[in-house]
Amino acid sequence: MNQNKQAALAAVEKKAPLVADVADSVWEYAELSLQEERSCAKYCAVLAQEGFTVEKGICGIPTAFSAAYGSGRPVIGLLAEYDALSGLSQKAESLTREERIPGGCGHGCGHNLLGAGAFAAALGVKAYLEKSGVSGTVVLYGCPGEEGGAAKAFMARENLWRALDAALTWHPDDVNEVVTGSSNSCIQTQYHFTGVAAHAAGDPDRGRSALDAVELMNLGVQFLREHMSDKARVHYAITDAGGRSPNVVQPRSSVLCIWCGPTMWRRR
């Protein structure tokens, strides 16, 4: 391995405590998609401290950022994510289910590591550029809302990636491997149903249940699964079940669906 690459690896090793601190902090912040204020602020602070030129709130997304180092081509992008999931609060280093905050959010698939790993890579490339003196720019992009919100799609719409020669990303897993396949594309849709409220015991015939509509829709999704590609997924969460009284015909109800598939058009 040449000296420049050795310098890159040595820089990552040297910064390991900082990288671990970022990963641990983001684990504790555990913020939902597009609400990653503290996580984003943490990244922006440490990247500025490490000599990167940081721009926060890019593409009109408050918790997105870019952090650049170097000059000229090639321009290499690294993608960091840092959003959490609801209901998965978990104490660090516990191998059993232990909520850190009851009912709180948590990192189900390691986005605290995902962002921190990309940050470590950016530090390594910076050291490489410094040591070698070659032309080149590394840009770490803070990409919020991977679990929902899809900030990267809006960043693409703003032509953010056009300035790049290449972009690299990764995702924590239980094995070390290079994945060359394609990912599912994904659409998220929020459905709102409106019915007519009534006392469910006194005047049930006068009510029209919006919650029934959500249940029927979800049942339809179960039947749809038989006819989907093996790779396709549909996930849903009832985000509004109406009210809290069972003896009321619920006048409103909402379900949030994520539709994922290798293609977003129907095969004929």
Contact positions vs Zn ion (CB under 5 A): 109
Output 59 or 109, the one with its CB closest to Zn ion: 109
- Which residues contact residue 236 at a Cβ distance below 8 angstroms, ignoring those fewer than 6 apart? 218, 221, 255, 256, 257, 258
d(CA 161, CA 79): 11
Output 148 or 243, the one with its CB closest to Zn ion: 148
- Which residues contact residue 115 at a Cβ distance below 8 angstroms, ignoring those fewer than 6 apart? 22, 23, 26, 39, 43, 80, 81, 82, 142
d(CA 169, CA 44): 19
* Residue 25 Cβ vs Zn ion, minimum distance, rounded to whole Å: 18
* Residue 26 Cβ vs Zn ion, minimum distance, rounded to whole Å: 13
Q: What is the gyration radius of the CA atoms in the chain, in angstroms?
A: 23
Output 50 or 147, the one with its CB closest to Zn ion: 147
d(CA 131, CA 7): 7
* Residue 147 Cβ vs Zn ion, minimum distance, rounded to whole Å: 7
Both tokens of 94, joined, read 């516990």
* Residue 64 Cβ vs Zn ion, minimum distance, rounded to whole Å: 17
Output 15 or 107, the one with its CB closest to Zn ion: 107
* Residue 114 Cβ vs Zn ion, minimum distance, rounded to whole Å: 7
Output 109 or 186, the one with its CB closest to Zn ion: 109
Q: Which residue is nearest to Zn ion (CB)?
A: 109
